[in-house]
């Protein structure tokens, strides 16, 4: 996602300085608080009213550089430095067209070459060298890759939508959890107060020993707070349903949705299936002799380790001479 797009999404305010002055009508922010300074494609500034005045009737030359401009081409600047603004804009435009991804390439080298080609064109535009050639290259690329560009753009949009949905859902979830917790606390407070009240009435009316009554009530109090803690559950969301909504009517890449879920704790090796017995007759156990005192080592773990050792490579074929000849070659 380009900087500019994310800036719009998160509503970063446009850049404004206190000593802004419109170079055309010379009106100052000091006198005209809501004044909006706009920037055109030639990076000359003008206030909003000047732009309306000058370009309402149609394309007109810029008063500074005489370049023909349109009203729609003016926008509010985001960065203070106009060269940064320029670079961001150029890069945004390039990213719209050159939107191939690494998975579109067979080899990493091809992808890197492509990135370098894009960067070369971008730099040409940035430093105003061979702009014609750069424009020609961009146009040529656009014509050659129309289908892929459109496909990648829809993909990008879809990802953005999903991102936003997940973000919204997470916020909602947090809020619901917070409210649930608040309710829980209120309930707890209420129960505590009730128990206290009943304690006072019991002390006043009952004929039992005061100590016993207090003891019984304290136990009740502890129990109630425990049970309410246990009842607190986090609100669960199903992201799969969410994604299914987004995918409806969207063209999905084949097989993308069917990949198995990744288990980060999965062993990279073939698992060994061992069923341990409940009890082994084991007079040699290191546990008996006070060994294996490392934290977390259990008798079962050690037994499993030993049996794994017994099964490891039990059916491995010894090397024969054909193998070793092949290895040497």
Taking CB under 8 A as the criterion, the residue among 284, 293, 296, 329 binding other proteins is: 284
Q: Map the footprint of other proteins across residues 261-280, applying CB under 8 A.
A: 267-270, 272, 277, 280
Taking CB under 8 A as the criterion, the residue among 187, 291, 300, 301 binding other proteins is: 291
Phi, psi (rounded to 5 degrees) for 60: -145, 160
Cβ proximity to other proteins, 150 vs 272, nearer residue: 272
Q: Is 319 near other proteins (CB under 8 A)?
A: yes
Q: CA gyration radius for the chain?
A: 36
Do the beta carbons of residue 75 and residue 39 sit within 8 Å?
Answer: yes
Cβ proximity to other proteins, 132 vs 327, nearer residue: 327
Taking CB under 8 A as the criterion, the residue among 244, 282, 298, 300 binding other proteins is: 282
Give the residue carrying structure tokens 């105003």. Answer: 128
Q: Is 297 near other proteins (CB under 8 A)?
A: no
Beta bridge mates, 46: 38
Taking CB under 8 A as the criterion, the residue among 17, 147, 265, 314 binding other proteins is: 314
Least gap, CB of 295 to other proteins (angstroms): 16
Least gap, CB of 148 to other proteins (angstroms): 31
Taking CB under 8 A as the criterion, the residue among 72, 147, 260, 316 binding other proteins is: 316
Do the beta carbons of residue 121 and residue 94 sit within 8 Å?
Answer: yes
Cα torsion 118, 121, 127, 130 to 10°: value is 170
How many residues touch other proteins (CB under 8 A)?
34
Which window, 4-12, 118-126, 190-198, 320-328, contacts other proteins (CB under 8 A)? Answer: 320-328
Pairing between strand 37-39 and 45-47? Answer: antiparallel
Do the beta carbons of residue 280 and residue 303 sit within 8 Å?
Answer: yes
Which window, 19-27, 72-80, 247-255, 305-313, contacts other proteins (CB under 8 A)? Answer: 305-313
Q: What phi-psi label fits residue 249: left (phi over 0), alpha (psi between -120 and 50 degrees) or beta?
A: left
Least gap, CB of 323 to other proteins (angstroms): 8
Do the beta carbons of residue 177 and residue 234 sit within 8 Å?
Answer: yes
Largest CA distance in the chain: 102
Do the beta carbons of residue 48 and residue 70 sit within 8 Å?
Answer: no
Cβ proximity to other proteins, 235 vs 311, nearer residue: 311
Q: Which residues bind other proteins (CB under 8 A)?
A: 267-270, 272, 277, 280-284, 286, 289, 291, 303, 305-321, 323-324
């Amino acid at each position: 996602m380009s900087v500019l797009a994310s800036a719009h999404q998160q509503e970063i305010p446009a850049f404004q300085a206190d000593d802004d002055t419109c170079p055309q009508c010379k009106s100052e922010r000091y006198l005209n608080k809501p004044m909006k300074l706009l920037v055109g494609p030639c990076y000359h500034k003008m206030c909003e009213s000047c732009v309306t005045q000058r370009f309402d009737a149609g394309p007109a030359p810029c008063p500074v550089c005489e370049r023909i401009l349109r009203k729609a081409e003016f926008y509010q600047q985001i960065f203070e430095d106009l060269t940064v603004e320029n670079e961001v804009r150029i890069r945004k435009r390039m990213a719209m067209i050159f939107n191939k991804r690494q998975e579109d390439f067979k080899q990493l080298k091809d992808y890197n070459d492509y990135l370098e080609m894009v960067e070369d064109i971008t730099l040409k535009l940035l430093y105003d060298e061979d702009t014609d050639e750069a424009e020609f290259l961009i146009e040529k690329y656009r014509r050659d890759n129309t289908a892929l560009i459109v496909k990648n753009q829809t993909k990008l949009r879809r990802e953005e939508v999903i991102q936003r949905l997940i973000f919204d859902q997470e916020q909602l979830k947090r809020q619901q959890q917070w409210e649930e917790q608040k309710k829980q606390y209120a309930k707890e407070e209420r129960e505590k107060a009730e128990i206290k009240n009943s304690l006072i009435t019991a002390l006043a009316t009952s004929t039992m020993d005061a100590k016993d009554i207090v003891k019984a009530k304290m136990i009740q109090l502890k129990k109630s707070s425990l049970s309410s803690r246990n009842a607190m559950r986090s609100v669960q969301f199903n992201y799969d349903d969410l994604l299914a909504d987004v995918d409806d009517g969207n063209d999905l890449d084949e097989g993308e949705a069917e990949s198995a879920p990744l288990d980060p704790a999965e062993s990279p090796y073939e698992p060994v299936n061992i069923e341990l017995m409940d009890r082994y007759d084991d007079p040699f156990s290191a546990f008996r002799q006070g060994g294996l005192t490392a934290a977390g080592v259990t008798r079962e773990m050690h037994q499993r380790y030993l049996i794994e050792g017994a099964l490891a490579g039990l059916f491995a074929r010894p090397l024969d001479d054909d193998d070793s000849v092949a290895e040497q070659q």
